[in-house]
Amino acid sequence: MKTKQIRLAERPVGMPNEDNFKWTEEDLRAPDTGEVVLKSLYISVDPYMRGRMNDQKSYVEPYGLDEVISGGVIAQVHQSNSTELEEGDFVIGNLGWATYQIAHEDALRKIDPSQAPITTHLGVIGMPGITAYFGLLDIGKPEPGETVVISGAAGAVGTVVGQIAKIAGARVVGIAGSDEKLAYLKDELKFDAVVNYKTDDLFESLKQACPDGVDVYFDNVGGEVSDAVLRLINKGARIPVCGQISLYNLKKPDLGIRVQPNLLVNSAMMKGFIVSDYGAHFQDAVTDLAKWLQEGRLQYKETVVEGFEKIPEAFIGLFKGENIGKYIVKVAEPSN
């Protein structure tokens, strides 16, 4: 059988574009013992993948040139040579951007479609949700009544951070880049205040939104948005650095205001992290997130585009702020 794949044709310089990708078609070999043939259903596009497209050490190994791009994928077992998985099972794994592929049972986690919609395993109870959980609760440690500010607040991680911060009793302020996003955060997710970094006078708006200063700043974007938030931090503030999406496509080193004098004067703490730092404790997060989801305390939204050929476009769209919540490409219908 044939499979289509998307490979890294060249490393993007600055903003990625369609020419950075190439399409291939191959015959799929038969699965060995323990392996399955998978049909991709939902492919996740995530900002961290941009870093893997550069040829430099980052927190995840770079993609090789001509390599099939990989990331979070939900797939269905199409043919099984495994004793653990059978045809029709839904699985999630770090898999290729391919319509079909072979994978070993050990690299897959079976998911139960009756527990929650399967796409939530890419979002609210998946990697972005787990990222939000540990970054906020292990590093940010919000206390009741404290002010938590989130940049990239309408994204897959930010939306979960804000809701967990509300569960923790904090006052939540979200920064995002469109009125539609702000309305979603305020009306649906019940954020206490929202700020549009594109149209508002950012510092003045933040100051109004945070009359008691900022105790936790969950940073997904970096750059000048962070400069503005950091001017408002309180003594003892905690700053989980989860992403720097505003910088991923920069061609030069990022120059700005050094944070050290500010951290010094405020005895503040800033810590970078990646979800895999918490690998040993994932189940704690998933248990809590799934419970909050079932109880209706955690809402989620997905931006879904359809078609395997749309993956690069969706990926590029991440950096244009196209998505609210988790950005997913649906590449095939599940089979019964």
User: What is the binding site for a second copy (CB under 8 A)?
Assistant: 51, 57-59, 219, 222-223, 226, 241-244, 247, 253-274, 277
Minimum distance, C-beta of residue 159 to a second copy, in the bound complex (Å): 20
Nearer to a second copy, 96 or 243 (CB): 243
Take residue 316 and report the two structure tokens written for it.
């590029």
For a second copy, the closer CB: 213 or 321: 213
CA distances in angstroms from 67 to 37, 70, 83, 106, 225, listed in the order given? 19, 9, 29, 21, 35
User: 263: buried, middle or exposed (CB in 10 Å: 19+, 13-18, 0-12)?
Assistant: middle
Q: How far is the CB of 142 from a second copy (least distance, A)?
A: 17
204 sits in which H/E element:
helix 202-209
In the complex, least distance from residue 10 CB atom to a second copy, rounded to whole angstroms = 23
Which tokens sit at 265?
């004067």
Torsion of CA 144, 146, 147, 148, to 10 degrees: -60
H/E element holding 44? strand 35-44
Nearer to a second copy by Cβ, of 186 and 231: the residue is 231
Our CB check for a second copy shows the closer of 2 and 57 to be 57
Distance separating alpha carbons of residues 258 and 271, to the nearest angstrom: 15
How far apart are CB 104 and a second copy at their closest, in Å?
28
Smallest gap from residue 235 Cβ to a second copy (A): 8
**Is the Cβ of residue 34 or residue 51 nearer to a second copy in the bound state?**
51
Q: CA triplet 267, 268, 273: central angle to 5 degrees?
A: 145
